[in-house]
Amino acid sequence: MKRNIKYIVVHCTATVTTATVEGIKNYWKHHLGWTHNGYHYIILRDGTVENITPEAEIANGVAGFNSSSIHMSYIGGIDAKGVPQDNRTPAQKEAMFNLIMELSHRYPNAEIKGHRDFPLVKKACPSFDVKQWLKNYEPTILKVA
């Protein structure tokens, strides 16, 4: 069954910047009791994008919207005291922008939103305004030799 994707959702892991993908997945499974991952993609500090859930499967990103969403997250989003903070590295920003563009081409009718932009969400995730960032972000253009 093909999913009807209406949203491309940007998240932060709301973890320290040194968190690992395995640690995050273990938290979902053992602490929260989830059978599905929270995201489809996680962006590491060095800009590496890990696909942890196939797009054809549902991830647990935003309650009530998961069947129609693709979820991506960057590792980070809080400071050492747990206060929301946009602490993306330049590499994470570039990878996030590129992934959003790639997904937008695959799902041209999908709306790009931050987790906090959905109704009844009471968290700061992804710790920045996604629409404002996209409006102002200038990607690095790689020159091919």
Catalytic residue IDs: 11, 39, 115, 123, 125
Q: How many CB atoms lie within 10 A of CB 145?
A: 3
Give residues with Cβ within 8 angstroms of 81, minimum separation 6. none
Contacts of 64 (CB under 8 A, 6+ apart): 118
Burial 15-26 (b: 16+ CB within 10 A, else e): bebebebeebbe
Q: What is the 3-state secondary structure (H, E, C) of 16-70?
A: CCCCCHHHHHHHHHHHCCCCCCCCCEEECCCCCEEECCCCCCCCCCCCCCHHHEE
Nearest to 110 by CA among 9, 37, 1: 9
